[in-house]
Structure 1
Amino acid sequence: MEVKARGLTFEVTASGPSDGQPVLLLHGFPQDHREFDPLLPRLHAAGLRTYALDQRGYSPGARPSGVGPYRIGEAVADVPAVLDALDLESAHLVGHDWGAIVAWLVAGRHPERVRTLTAISVPHPRALLMALRVRPSQRARFAYTRVLRSPVAERLLLGGGALVMRRMLGPLGPRADLYVKAMREPGRLTAALNWYRAFRSADVADLGQITVPTTYVWSDRDGVVGLTAALRAADWVRGDYQLVAMRGVSHWVPEQAPRELGDAVLARIGV
């Protein structure tokens, strides 16, 4: 369906029992709502209603030009506006990668709109910033972000048959083709990369402790987030909290380990 919010038109895939508790799914880079497809049957079987949002830059009708519109605060403000458009007072949030950052911030700034939070791969932003300050290994893991912020990122990722993007998504196998093809859509990759170009640490510096029931899912073969950041996420949650650590899984948790992720999401929601 198309959902109009904040002067933009977002694409939202709604599925599952119409009377089920609502779950809003927030994807990361370079994916879209389809990264949650392997997870959905499990959620629907548990009676949940899911809304998978293509976030700004990914929805063709929500693709403003320039870098400024991709400040993280804009993506955060989209979530309650989309919930309003869907006539939902609140929802369970499940976010991966950038979607996890958005979800953490929504839970912190709009807790009344969040029933529970399941954040995948990326911990509380303040925990991540701390790890970047004190752990050279975490800074090394984030070296790729400087490339993605550069003016040559589009050519690097899609040049040569999109070899770099395909290698980045290697653990996904044939599913990587879904996202490579989508990123060839005019303007889509630039908009997605503008999330990186627009981000400033100050944008999350005011985020305090999270009060909603929260699960953070981390995987030990994640090349982006190290153990220190993962463990320190607990410092920033005052509500009921659980860390779920997966073994032998890379950054792409929703598609690599949908069964285990489903366990974590359902346990957090309580169904």
Structure 2
Amino acid sequence: MDLADRFVDVGTGVRLHYVEAGSGPLVVLLHGFPEFWWSWRHQIPVLAEAGFRVVAVDMRGYGQSDAPPSWRDYRMELLAADVAGLIEALGEERAFVVGHDWGAAVAWMVATLHPERVERLAILNVPHPDTMLRTLRSSPKQLLHSWYMFFFQIPWLPERLAKLMRRRFLEGAYGDARPGAFTAEDYARYETALLDSPGGLKGPIDYYRAALRRSPRRARSLFRPIPAPVLVIWGVQDRFLTERMAEPDPRWVPDVRIVKLPDASHWVQHDEPERVSTLLIEHFQVA
């Protein structure tokens, strides 16, 4: 399938790169760390053939999108505003929003802070931010799993090590994925997009710096009930996040369906691409 390769000013001071396929209701796909739009290579053609206009974005700091220089430029309000502005810039009132990993964290907040832009929400292997905060506070096991978030607070060293390690860094990041989920071509694309870009991994790692430098009280002040129906797809073999984090608090997410894939890892859309695509189409076609 041919992909249109485009850039758009989203009204937040950054220009985002995205690829687009198909026509119909808008689906916005948000990748995680350390990925870029290629994260959705399996889902893009299937969703487009199902009758959707599919837009897979390089989020700010990634790939060919703008990469502001300060960690303060990666605060959650700005990341969510990028997506809301993208939907508007594409000429749509609302969209189906899908996110994995950091893209899912941003998707939660788009639906929270800009509910008028989200028709339905789909989340892959990241808890609602309230669940994340409560679990980090109460679970030493989860704190141990999340050690890298604290390592990323060190200035310049994490991104320098990633650039030196190159393929070994990426293989370590995706290490719990099923064998064959990431091919040699995939690794080559990730190296080019993430490690050979001018900013390297500074922008992506600044997501973590901005998140951990905000007080939990300030973070919770942003939470609102999400009116959109939510689908949570969760790979149970996630080595980073415990399975019980899949279920959000009904105060914040009153309309949710949770589908757990027992044999999938954190990289669920790579491990079970057909199943994930089918679940997304079912979720969107209910609307």
Q: TM-score range by the shorter chain?
A: over 0.9
What corresponds to 1:205 in structure 2?
Answer: 220
- Map Cα deviations across residues 15-36 of structure 1 (whole Å, 9 max, x no partner): 11x2x11101111111001100
The answer to which structure has the higher helix fraction is: 1
Question: 1:238: Cα distance to partner?
Answer: 1.4
Question: 1:209: Cα distance to partner?
Answer: 2.4
C-alpha distance in structure 2 between counterparts of 1:164 and 1:15, whole Å: 31
Per the normalisation by structure 2, the TM-score is 0.88
C-alpha distance in structure 1 between counterparts of 2:250 and 2:38, whole Å: 29
CA contact (8 A) 1:131 1:228 kept: no
What corresponds to 1:231 in structure 2?
Answer: 247
Distance 1:202 1:15, change over 3 A: farther
Amino acid aligned to 1:124: H
Structure 2 residue runs without a partner (length 5+): 1-5
* 1:253 to 2:253 alignment: no
What corresponds to 1:24 in structure 2?
Answer: 28
Amino acid aligned to 1:249: A
Distance 1:259 1:74, change over 3 A: same
C-alpha distance in structure 2 between counterparts of 1:92 and 1:232, whole Å: 19
CA contact (8 A) 1:166 1:180 kept: no
CA contact (8 A) 2:235 2:267 kept: no
CA contact (8 A) 1:141 1:223 kept: yes
Question: 1:249: Cα distance to partner?
Answer: 1.1
What corresponds to 1:12 in structure 2?
Answer: 18
CA contact (8 A) 2:58 2:65 kept: no
Amino acid aligned to 2:107: A
CA contact (8 A) 2:163 2:200 kept: no
Question: 1:233: Cα distance to partner?
Answer: 4.9
Q: 1:177 aligns with which of 166, 176, 188?
A: 188
Amino acid aligned to 2:245: A
* 1:191 to 2:203 alignment: yes
* Mapping 1:151-166, distance limit 5 Å: 151=155, 152-166=157-171
C-alpha distance in structure 2 between counterparts of 1:226 and 1:235, whole Å: 21
Question: 1:162: Cα distance to partner?
Answer: 3.8
Question: 1:156: Cα distance to partner?
Answer: 2.2
Match of 1:188, SS state, is coil
CA contact (8 A) 2:20 2:53 kept: yes
Match of 2:259, SS state, is strand
Structure 1 residue runs without a partner (length 5+): none
Distance 1:159 1:254, change over 3 A: same
C-alpha distance in structure 1 between counterparts of 2:217 and 2:30, whole Å: 22
* 1:90 to 2:94 alignment: yes
What corresponds to 1:220 in structure 2?
Answer: 236
Amino acid aligned to 2:87: L
C-alpha distance in structure 2 between counterparts of 1:226 and 1:112, whole Å: 31
CA contact (8 A) 2:64 2:193 kept: no
Amino acid aligned to 1:104: W
| Seq. identity, % | 33
- Map Cα deviations across residues 215-253 of structure 1 (whole Å, 9 max, x no partner): 1111111112102211345553113x1001011111111
What corresponds to 1:268 in structure 2?
Answer: 283
Higher mean displacement: 220-229 or 158-167:
158-167
Question: 1:37: Cα distance to partner?
Answer: 0.9
Distance 1:161 1:102, change over 3 A: closer
Match of 2:59, SS state, is coil
Cα RMSD between the aligned structures? 1.7
